[in-house]
Amino acid sequence: MTLDVFQEQARRYYEGTLRAHGVTARGVDWNSTESQIVRFRQFARLLEDDPEATVVDYGCGYGALAVYLRKQGYRGRYTGFDVSGDMVAAAAGVAGGLPDCRFTSDRAEVEPADYTIASGIFNVRIDAADEAWRDYLLRTVEDIRSVSGRGFGFNALTSYSDPDKRRADLYYANPLELFDHCQRTYSRRVSLLHDYELYEFTILVRL
């Protein structure tokens, strides 16, 4: 399977959740708004209270991160990218009126920013094999790096999750392997956050 096939699967999956649940946390397959905010707090550490930092939201969904960042006082240019045109339309409705925020489903329109944030894009593998999805994840992280000037962050479900709570259609990544990969490939300044109350982890890379 190719990168484009995985993206097409993701597009169909998340457009289905959007139709089923609307512009809500469930609409992007999170359990609750509260858990969504917990994730955003992890990524906010990357911005280091720099209110002018520019951000690419890679897999922006309906634009919830844009709303969160503006509420927290971040004023830098925000670009939301999502492979789903339906999600981009929803994001424009939710956050398109916020200052200096734009949304696109065209990867070619994504200009580099200080930081890139990718929340939840590596979770739903559907029927992809572990090795194929791992390869997709690493290639996507490389693309995320390519539009990041000062750093980037992403999260994933953790392989330390209780076996009886795992779903067959989700991917549970090895946090230590990804930490090591980012250390060796991108920067010595890498943080692995695995101490918050969700079955996942966040990696922050400062370039």
pLDDT at residue number 2: 52
pLDDT at residue number 4: 85
- φ and ψ at residue 160, rounded to 5 degrees: -85, 5
pLDDT at residue number 181: 98
Domains and CATH numbers, the chain: 3-206 (3.40.50.150)
- DSSP code, position 83: S
Tell me the pTM: 0.95
Going residue by residue through the chain (207 aa), what tens digit of pLDDT does each one get?
455 889 889 899 899 999 999 999 999 988 899 999 999 999 999 998 899 999 999 999 999 999 999 999 999 999 999 999 999 999 999 999 999 999 999 999 999 999 999 999 999 998 999 999 999 999 999 999 999 999 999 999 999 999 998 999 999 999 999 999 999 999 999 999 999 999 999 999 999
pLDDT at residue number 3: 57
pLDDT at residue number 31: 86
Q: From residue 189, how far is each of 131, 139, 184, 192 by CA, in Å? A: 27, 20, 10, 10
CA 159 to chain centre: 18
HSE-up (13 A, CA, CB side) for residue 113: 26
Rg from Cα positions in the chain: 16
Question: In terms of DSSP bridges, do strands 148-158 and 200-206 run parallel, antiparallel, or are they unpaired?
Answer: antiparallel
